[in-house]
Amino acid sequence: MHPGSDTSAGATASGEAADAPVSRPAEPPTAAPEPAVAPSAEPAVRATRRQRVARWCRREARRTALAAASGLALGFAFPPYDLWPLSLLAVAALALLTRGRTARQGAWTGFAFGLPFFVLLLKWLDVVGWDAVIGLSLAESLFFVPLGAGLALTSRLPGWPLWAACLWVAEEWARDRLPFGGFPWGRLAFANTGSPFTPLAALGGAPLVTFGVALASTLLAAAVVALWRVYALAGGRAATAPGTTPSAAANAPLGADPAAPADAAGSEADEDAGATPEPAPAARPSGPRLLRGALPAVEAIALAGAVTLAGFLVPVPTDADDTVNIAVVQGNVQQPGMDFLGRPMKILNNHVEATLRLAEDVKAGREPQPDLVIWPENASDLDPYKYREAYARIDLAVKSIGVPVLVGALVDHPTKEGYVENQGIVWDPRTGPGASYTKQHPVPFGEYVPFRDQLSKVISRLDRVPRDFYPGDHSGVMQVGPAKLGDVICFEVAYDEIVRDTVNAGARALVIQTNNATYGRSGQPEQQLVMSRLRAIEHGRAVVTAAPSGISAVVAPDGTIEQRTKEFTQDVLSARIPLRDDITVADRIGAVPEWVLAMVGVLSCAAAIMVSRRGRTDEKGMQ
């Protein structure tokens, strides 16, 4: 029965009349109360759809606004803002906003949280068009719908902060893989690449960092719930009111009266049809009882602190087995944006000229002689195997520096006409081009178009991707001069399994060949750079990022950015980086922690559904 309806009010009034003393026969009948007249039974008028929508909007407006604000707060935890503590507050806020709600209400709250978060995070896509920003944000926000529903369901279980943290891992597990191979941008771990949680990556990779952040956050939310309960006790409110069970008080949404009917607390329908009568005020509890009530809050805060500080106990291996001198060439592009390539061979000539200048500086003693040189993704905009001029220019630069160069180039597929491969090619000064790595995970709608025949008829912008990139079939471990390097191209740094497989295949250091010229000065290069920081700690490897327009960088195995360039400048970085053979615990156990935590999250939802159904069955049996 609707808690704010006239029928409920009438039932309350009838209950009050029934509790009144019965008149004695000896007393005079004067001033006897008139018998209560039952209200005439009128047929219930069904609310129209517009009325139901308006009532729903009024009921959910405040909570939706708070969820959206929390989503924006999470966005500010990521680069270029880098306010990582906001990730804790945002996750805690979502836990509080979904606590005690129905699955459907939690699902909406999750969506309201996710959409503004992704719009802020992915606004660098506006160079393609704001419709691309909104479209991708909407698609990614859909993963927060089951997350919000799961948070609402499991909030009624004992130990709910643990289940909530597992659900965050499950959400990221799904986004990392679906659809079209997934898009893992915006993981909690990527907002915490310089926080106390970061060393957890060496034990369980990015999923364990996400789990630690989510667990600490939901424990803080649990502390807020416990403190709210103490506040209710101190005010003599419903926490001690007759007829209020501890479970009802525990599961009521934050700010709701735990003594109110459960459906009233969950749906806030009293805003639409009048307030539920306040229970009689109870006696204020004693001081010791308040202290006992505050203990759960103290315990939750202590556990949150322990989870946060646990990262400092994780050893991050950095000892070098060997070292190598490298040079990273950033040749720059003709212009930022979608048309960064400019005229043919412009970018290639920029990198050739910067390498020739480096060779002169080495001969003059102004720069140390490198053992190898790294060029970025798309350093050659023409296929050097097909265009002789491009081959000759690369060969000139490599011979001038006298050491192998890892060249990023676009190469026509040798057997599949119309396809192109995004490659890193080891170019030797004596033998020319040799081993190569082909990007395994091309970007959908950026490097290939799914359902091209159907979608190109309705989306003309897809014509800007005239050829599909063909994926590679093996990891990028290659011998480049004296070093065995693992090549990872561009967005692949965001995918756990690609980087992990490269390290386990024998890479002693990692190279991220990338091209962010399209999204320059938008925050996207910073978002990708922090992923290199996390991968360095996760795998105990130095990570070298090479970009034609920046940001190029050298990251130590402990995640320290030792050198970095400015955007849209021509520059060369020279560094001695460590080469390591040992692998971390995260490399040894692989994706096991992620799968286990995600499965626990899903099973906790199943358990919550079973408990809820059992409770309803017991209530019907008692009636």
Catalytic residue annotation: 377, 439, 490
Phi, psi of 56 (to 5 degrees): -65, -40
Note whether 199 and 537 are within 8 A (CB): yes
CA 30/CA 568 separation, integer angstroms: 97
Q: Six-digit token pair at 439?
A: 């990007």
Helix (H, G, I), strand (E, B) or coil at 176: coil
Residue with tokens 């990614």: 140
Helix (H, G, I), strand (E, B) or coil at 599: helix
Amino acid at 533: R
Note whether 577 and 509 are within 8 A (CB): yes
Q: Which helix (H) or strand (E) holds 59?
A: helix 49-75
CA 519/CA 584 separation, integer angstroms: 33
Q: How far from each other are the two terminal CA atoms of the chain, in whole angstroms?
A: 15
Note whether 317 and 540 are within 8 A (CB): yes
Phi, psi of 383 (to 5 degrees): -65, 115
CA 65/CA 418 separation, integer angstroms: 49
Residue with tokens 């990779």: 205
- Residues 6+ away with beta carbon under 8 Å from 304: 215, 216, 217, 219, 220, 223
How many CB atoms within 10 Å of residue 31? 6
| Inter-axis angle of helices 103-121 and 85-98, nearest 10 | 160
Amino acid at 519: Y
Helix (H, G, I), strand (E, B) or coil at 198: helix
Helix (H, G, I), strand (E, B) or coil at 425: strand
